Each structure stands twice: as C-alpha cells, then as structure tokens.
Amino acid sequence: MSLQKTLKPQDVAALSSGVESLLRRLIRVLVGHMSLTKLEELVRLVFVEESERQLRREFPNKAPPMSQLALLTGLDSRPLGKIRSHPAYGQERGPEASFMRNFTSTTRLLDKWSTDPGYLDESTGRPLPITIQGQAPSIESLMKSAGFIRGVTARSVAERLELGGAATWDRKTGVLTLVTEKFLPSTNADLAGAVEVGFNAIGHLVDTVLTNLERLDEGQPRDYQRAYWSNRIAPHQVEAFQARITQMMTEFEDQGLALLGEYEMDIESPSQVTAGFGLYYFEDAPDGESSNR
C-alpha cells in the first residue's frame, strides 16, 4: 500500500513522529545486540527491496525503471547498484546464523569463543576460561579475529561482557568464564518462532494504522483499531489488573478463534485473503521504559 498520493506535509510529519517512537522502542532492544552499522545495512536493503516491490506492482509487465527506484529511495545509481548487488539482497536473512553472528563485534567474539576449537576444552567441548591480554586463548586474541573497531581495549570488552551477563570475571586471577547457558549455540526454535510471531503482529498493526490513515483522508470506513490505557495505575494494583484483563482477553480469544473457524475454507487458493485480529497486554514503567517487573 502507498500513501504517497494522500498524505499532506503535516501528515508526513505526524507519520515521521510515529516512526521515531516505534524506532526508539525497537532500538532499546537492539542496543548491545546489533551495531548501528548493521542496522543501517539492514534498513538500506529492506528500503530498496520494498521500493522495488512497489514498482513491480506499478510496472507489472517490465523491469522496474531505475529512475523510478532512484526517485522512491533518494539514491543515485551507484549506491543503488551496490545495494542491489549485495549477497543478501532479496534473500531471507534473519534465520541464518551467519547473518545473526555478525550483528556486533561482541556477537562475533562470543560466537568464536563458543565454537572455535582453539577456545574449547578438548575433553568436554565447553568454552575454555580465558585471560584478557596475551596469546590465545584470550580476549585480546578474540578481538583480533573478530575484527573489532579501533580504539577499543581488551579490558573494556571484558567489562562489557561482564555487565551484559555474557561472562564472569575473576579479578584475582584475571580470568573470564563464558556464561554457557546463555551463549552456546542452540537448535531450539522456540525463541525464533516467538520473535517471528511477535514482529508479524507488529507488522499487521502498522498495516492497519497506515490503511486507516489513507481511508481517513479519503472518507472511507476504517478497519477496527483500538487501544486503551491509563497513566494512573498504582504499582501494587498492576498484578491484579493484569490478571483480570488477561482473563477477559482470553475469553474473547476463544470467541474470535471460533469465528475464524467458521469463515476459514478447507481448501487453499491463491485468491484467499489473510485476515484476523490481535490481542496483547502492555505496561510502561514510570520513566517510559517497558516494564520488567
């Protein structure tokens, strides 16, 4: 869907404010797990991919004109060519370990520490305790192989690993031990599935918001979209409120699933539409951060 024909300058400003608010919440989660460089790379890839997808809908019988792609992205031919020739362009990136492990220099370091034979105990296969300075196995040697940015010391990396809960640091011996239950590779797909479902739900909500913006300008009926909250709930009442509202949403969930079943066809068809509803509970701490009670 495109809002280019309907949004006025003041609407674009409001949309930009909303995007900033969404990005701030997302970036709070990404800090320490994804570098700014990697995020910029991902945004560039996705932005150009989506722009090209829109042009393919507008020009269905021929290749999307590069001049139109330049207009939509604000990039000239050289950076566009570089992005479109990227090995990850147009590919599924998230589930691949090679993509995930390069999110930050620290992630690469942890990946090497937990998988490289030179940093594993031969008898147990577990990561070895390592020192900060000196030859391998050490933080200093890991930094060299992980391609750390200049100006970062081995001691500052050790402090970051300790602060982030990735490793314990024995100050007397100067030895760091990897917190293996958190950072050893895992084949468990539960987390990946939960993340995918959660962010798909966010995407559906964004689609509804943008659709309603367009329909508001055109005077058309809007899709159902509601959110309610109060800024004046006492901390000692939060648990009780969460329990009661969860019970109410669970009851509606059962009704909604039954209704979906009534309308769902038994046979799949390319012409079928994906439609549904979403329910979620949220709360913010007094400082505006997401609560972690």
For the entire predicted model, the pTM comes to: 0.55
Domain-wise residue ranges, the chain: 104-183, 233-264+273-293
**Which one-letter amino acid corresponds to residue 111?**
D
Whether 169 and 157 have beta carbons less than 8 Å apart is answered as no
Whether 201 and 213 have beta carbons less than 8 Å apart is answered as no
Q: Work out whether strand 167-170 and strand 175-178 pair parallel, antiparallel, or are unpaired.
A: antiparallel
Place of tokens 């040697």: 141
Per residue in 240-251, pLDDT tens? 999 999 999 999
Give the contacts of 110 (CB within 8 A, at least 6 positions apart).
Answer: 161, 166, 178, 183
CATH number for 104-183: choose from 1.10.287, 1.10.260, 1.10.10, 2.60.40: 1.10.10
Per residue in 77-131, pLDDT tens? 899 999 999 888 887 655 444 444 455 677 778 878 888 888 888 888 888 999 9
Per residue in 116-162, pLDDT tens? 888 888 888 888 999 998 888 888 888 887 777 677 788 888 888 88
